[in-house]
Amino acid sequence: MLRKNIPAFSIGEEPLGQIRGHDMELYLDVERPYPPMQRRPPYPESLETRKEIEKHINELLEMDVIRKIAHNEIVEITTPSLITWHDGKSRLCGDLRALNNYKKADRYPISRIPHALDKLKKSKYITKMDCMKGFHQNGVKPSSMKLFKIICHM
């Protein structure tokens, strides 16, 4: 199974694999112009936070996960948020909370933990994968890319 899905894993010097064939699409209940909350200037940041955001953005640019857009493009943008864990590691996220009010609800049930554990009890092997920047491994359909743009001081 791992060999069949080898593109999802980083190999050698490659820092990030990519999930293929399952590009995400975001459906909204509104048409353009999009919610005003989605179009705003970047949040004020400390010098330390700016440096950390720059580090993440440069890393994601090098990995071709994100790309720069022209200054004159008319786009809906959101601000980046830097999430820092107790161990000092951080992750760069877009603050997409404004879209939650306009997103069409997903209509599929999530398994209950006891049911999931019940399915696992006859398993021969149980493994865990630690995905580096897991949500950056999913592609986004071109029709939804306009909703995932961030603005920062760079």
The whole-number pLDDT of residue 121 equals 82
The whole-number pLDDT of residue 77 equals 66
The whole-number pLDDT of residue 152 equals 78
The whole-number pLDDT of residue 7 equals 65
The whole-number pLDDT of residue 151 equals 79
Per-residue pLDDT of the chain (154 residues; tens, 9 = 90+): 667 776 666 666 656 666 667 788 888 887 766 655 556 677 788 899 889 889 988 988 887 778 887 776 666 667 777 778 788 888 888 777 777 778 887 777 777 888 888 888 878 777 766 555 556 667 888 888 878 788 777 7
Task: List, in order, residues 6 or more apart from 103 with CB less than 8 Å away.
Answer: 26, 27, 28, 29
The whole-number pLDDT of residue 85 equals 79
- Block residue for tokens 């398993």: 123
Q: Per CATH, which fold does 6-145 belong to?
A: HIV Type 1 Reverse Transcriptase; Chain A, domain 1 (3.10.10)
Would you list the domain boundaries of the chain?
6-145
The whole-number pLDDT of residue 113 equals 84
Per the rule left: phi > 0, alpha: psi between -120 and 50, beta: everything else, 88 is left
